[in-house]
């Protein structure tokens, strides 16, 4: 008879400290960003994209229900459902949007970016 291994511990509101330690910088950064965006009446494309990204990251994360509540508040304020937000952000991306921090379109990117043209 094989011994049954104990299941992985579940992350719950009671044991989020260990989980938060690993992700503290990310959670704190996202929390600050969300706090800034929540006050926006007319969001920019970048703010829609940021909220969609945070929804993907935190929507189903039980330890971070407080973040989900703020995301729901933000969506409610903008009269959007999560699905409408995702549809809107897909259109934004397909229109050629690039984040303000992204390199210029003409910049070389990739493994061959530092190779002169014609060089092998």
Instruction: Specify the pLDDT at position 11.
Output: 43
Token digits of residue 2: 């094989």
pLDDT tens profile 94-115? 999 888 765 555 454 455 555 5
Token digits of residue 75: 């969506």
Burial of 46: CB neighbours in 10 Å, binned 0-12, 13-18, 19+? middle
Neighbour tally for 63: CB within 10 Å: 19
Query: Angle 65-77/45-58 helices, nearest 10 degrees?
Result: 150
Neighbour tally for 88: CB within 10 Å: 17
Which residues does the chain have with pLDDT short of 70? 1-25, 101-120
What residues does each domain of the chain span?
23-94
């Amino acid at each position: 008879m094989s011994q049954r291994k104990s299941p992985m511990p579940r992350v719950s509101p009671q044991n989020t400290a260990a989980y938060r330690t690993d992700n503290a910088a990310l959670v704190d950064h996202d929390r600050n960003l969300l706090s800034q965006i929540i006050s926006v009446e007319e969001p920019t494309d970048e703010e829609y994209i940021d909220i969609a990204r945070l929804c993907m990251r935190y929507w189903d994360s039980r330890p971070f229900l407080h973040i989900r509540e703020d995301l729901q508040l933000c969506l409610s304020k903008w009269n959007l459902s999560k699905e409408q937000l995702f549809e809107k952000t897909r259109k934004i991306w397909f229109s050629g949007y690039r984040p303000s921090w992204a390199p210029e379109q003409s910049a070389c990117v990739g493994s061959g970016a530092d190779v002169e043209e014609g060089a092998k």
